Amino acid sequence: MLATRSLALAAVMTAMSLAGPLAAQSQASSKITFTLDHYNPSSEWPVSIRQITVGGRPAQFDRPLLVAGDWLPTVTMTLVNVSPKTIVRGGMDITFLQSGDGTEQHPYLGSQSVKGRVPKIVYLDANGYHLPPWWDHDAPLQLPIGGRLHLSFVEDKETREWLARTATVKATVRFDNFYFADNSRWSAGEYLLAPTPPSRSWTLVSRQEFLRSAQRR
């Protein structure tokens, strides 16, 4: 009888010792701060950032937010098309600059969320179109003026493990390239009109010229 009670007590103690670390791990929290890496005043952007949420809770740029568990897949960003044209591709990147130095040996970890398909004009050269094999894998996008684009993020194993052991996280949010229905684009804060024969080169224009190009359609 005594031996039976001893075994039962040992089993309970073992379960408690295992539950402790697991509970602590599930409740482990981190402090995350989102910082927007922008190129110019927001009045120049083709989209506005309407909202960022983490686990359903709103987040604000440059203000720490306490999160717990595997939080990156719970991040959502809502963008609004404030340009005068339909957007066919665009998105955002989240980069953790603390995770590396940008070299091939130690690249930055992060996640990208992009929707839409790169226009064929990007792959045009003197010999015609050279579309990559994955070109049509992305679903087409037709985001009208005033339309909302909802982005969500995923993480690989390395990013998840790094986040799990990092108590204070700085997340740099960057715009991806945005392409429009007339093949123009917004890249690194600059507007460019689509290549036209025979130059096949993009034409850098001001936002005012970009707006005028929309009126000429």
- pLDDT digits 0-9 by tens, 162-190: 999 999 999 999 999 999 999 999 999 99
Closest CA to 77 of 65, 95, 93: 93
pLDDT in tens, 127-153: 777 888 888 888 999 999 999 999 999
Task: Tell whether 192 is covered by a domain.
Answer: no
Does residue 87 lie within any of the structural domains? Answer: yes
Q: ∠ at Cα 85 (81, 91), nearest 5°?
A: 45
* Domain of residue 150, residue span: 28-181
CB 141 within 8 A of CB 116: yes
Instruction: Classify residue 3: in a domain, yes or no.
Output: no
Indicate whether 26 pLDDT > 60.
no
Q: Above 90 in pLDDT, residue 125?
A: no
Confirm whether 214 is domain-assigned: no
The rounded percent of the chain whose pLDDT value lies above 70 is 85
Contact yes or no for 202/194 (Cβ under 8 A): yes
Residue 66 lies in a domain: yes
The answer to whether residue 202 is domain-embedded is: no
In a domain, 105, yes or no: yes
- Split into its structural domains, the chain has a count of 1
Q: Give domain status of residue 5, yes or no.
A: no
